[in-house]
């Protein structure tokens, strides 16, 4: 069964290079030309998984007294073949949950992702220096993908330098700003695209904007991102 699933997934990704990939979305959108990586914030009673998903404990929804039960469920499900990444998880300085608790929980995600050799999908708000030092300290070998990145270019280049990957979304639609320059210049192989939790946003719009800023046709961008996706998720 597991083998068959992988064969189907490979066919879906490698034989059709003209797929769109929504690398981080909270929606369950089905379309024959779309790889929809649905991210789920794990609760203790989660059982059914979508075909392709990413699982984590989002720092916004961590309950100090019950996150251990959710964590057990996450650990139990994370090895399923449908789970192509761990997250979203991470650090957020804008919430009440103490930073040391956030670091403990994020540290568990790092260990889990490392043991399964699956990429990490990261939510980070005003805690980039902690993020960089955790990456250095963990000597991690898996890809760390920062989703929805929208910060100063200085931080972007610093993270690029530290081998982070990026998933860009709504921020590249603005007329100008740091993310417009970031998407135009980031090397191929270091980024993917996403819609996150914006109900009216279509991944096709994000692809069109990224292709135009990178001055490549959408079809070429699709081929490049299928390759990046396969590399990041180690399908090949």
CB of 137 to Zn ion, least distance (A): 25
- The torsion angles phi and psi of 47, rounded to 5 degrees, stand at -130, -55
Dist CA 213 CA 12 (whole Å): 27
Q: CB nearest Zn ion: which residue?
A: 196
Binding track, positions 87-126, relative to Zn ion; x by CB under 5 A: ----------------------------------------
Strands of 20-25's sheet in order across: 20-25, 34-41, 53-56, 83-92, 120-125, 144-147, 165-168, 191-193
Rounded CA gap, 129 and 47, in Å?
35
- We find the least distance from the C-beta atom of residue 26 to Zn ion, in angstroms, to be 6
Mark residues 175-214: x for contact with Zn ion by CB under 5 A, - for none: ---------------------x------------------
C-alpha 128/C-alpha 173 separation (Å) is: 23
CB-nearer residue toward Zn ion: 92 or 196 = 196
Q: How far apart are CA 101 and CA 231, in angstroms?
A: 32
Q: How far is the CB of 147 from Zn ion (least distance, A)?
A: 6
> Which of 22, 196 has the CB closer to Zn ion?
196
Q: Give the 3-state secondary structure of residue 40.
A: strand
Work out whether 41 is an interface residue with Zn ion (CB under 5 A): no
The distance of closest approach from Cβ of residue 123 to Zn ion in the complex, given in angstroms and rounded to an integer, is: 7
The binding site for Zn ion (CB under 5 A) comprises 196
């Amino acid at each position: 069964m597991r083998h068959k699933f992988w064969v189907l997934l490979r066919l879906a990704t490698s034989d059709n290079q003209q797929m769109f990939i929504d690398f981080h979305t909270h929606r369950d959108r089905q379309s024959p030309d779309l790889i929809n990586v649905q991210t789920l914030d794990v609760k203790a009673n989660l059982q059914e998984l979508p075909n392709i998903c990413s699982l984590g404990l989002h720092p916004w929804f961590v309950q100090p007294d019950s996150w251990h039960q959710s964590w057990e469920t996450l650990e139990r499900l994370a090895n399923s073949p449908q789970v192509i990444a761990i997250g979203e998880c991470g650090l957020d300085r804008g919430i009440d949950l103490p930073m040391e608790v956030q670091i403990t929980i994020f540290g568990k995600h790092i260990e889990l992702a490392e043991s399964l050799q699956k990429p990490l999908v990261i939510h980070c708000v005003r805690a980039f220096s902690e993020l960089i030092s955790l990456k250095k300290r963990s000597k991690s070998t898996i890809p760390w993908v920062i989703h929805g990145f929208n910060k100063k270019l200085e931080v972007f280049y610093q993270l690029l330098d530290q081998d982070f990957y990026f998933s860009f979304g709504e921020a590249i639609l603005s007329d100008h700003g740091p993310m417009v320059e970031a998407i135009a210049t980031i090397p191929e192989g270091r980024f993917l695209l996403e819609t996150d939790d914006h109900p009216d946003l279509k991944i096709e719009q994000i692809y069109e904007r990224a292709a135009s800023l990178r001055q490549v046709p959408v079809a070429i961008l699709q081929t490049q991102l299928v390759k990046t996706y396969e590399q990041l998720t180690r399908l090949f």
